Amino acid sequence: MANNKMKKATPVQQEYQKLANQLEPKRPLFQNCWRAFLAGGTICVVGQAIQEMFVHWGGFDEKKAANPTVAVLILISVILTSLGLYDKFAQWAGAGSAVPVTGFANSMASAAIEHRSEGFVLGVGGKMFKLAGPVIVFGTVAAFFVGIITFVLKGTGGGH
């Protein structure tokens, strides 16, 4: 698609685009990947540590410890977002901070904080769920289909 735009561009526009591409700073791809790996991995290690605490000190089994672990990670993310720290971390970490559940919580909390002056319903609720809505709908629809497939496979003897 970018090539189609270049074909329609005038010679001056094409020359400008070539110059702009030459002067554009190169992205440090390896550094960005390494930071994303470190950040995402660290978040996962923290999550695993929290889950182990629920198992060892809370009396949960590993499966039942999963939900409160996710809730604690979301809470930590929202607190760090409200203090302005998660955004600084995300600037450094890149995609590593956006992929886990903490990134989703950060996105929702950021939208809520940014639009709180517009009121709770139209500002916080409306803007916060602009991002969350599609994710929640996709998750619900995907869970529905996975449930149907699981039911069919178990009903026909193909499941566990």
Q: For residue range 95-141, list pLDDT tens digits in order.
A: 888 877 888 788 778 777 777 677 766 666 666 667 666 777 777 88
| Cα–Cα distance list, 143 to 68, 137, 148 (Å) | 20, 10, 9
Tokens representing residue 92 in the block: 């450094």
Residue 32 corresponds to which amino acid?
Answer: N
Place of tokens 């791809």: 29
- With 0-12 / 13-18 / 19 or more C-beta atoms within 10 angstroms meaning exposed / middle / buried, residue 113 is middle
Give dist(CA 153, CA 139) in Å, integer.
Answer: 21
pLDDT over 60 (residue 93): yes
pLDDT over 60 (residue 160): no
Q: Whole-angstrom distance between the N-terminal and C-terminal Cα of the chain?
A: 47
Q: Mapping DSSP to helix (H, G, I), strand (E, B) and coil, where does residue 133 land? A: helix
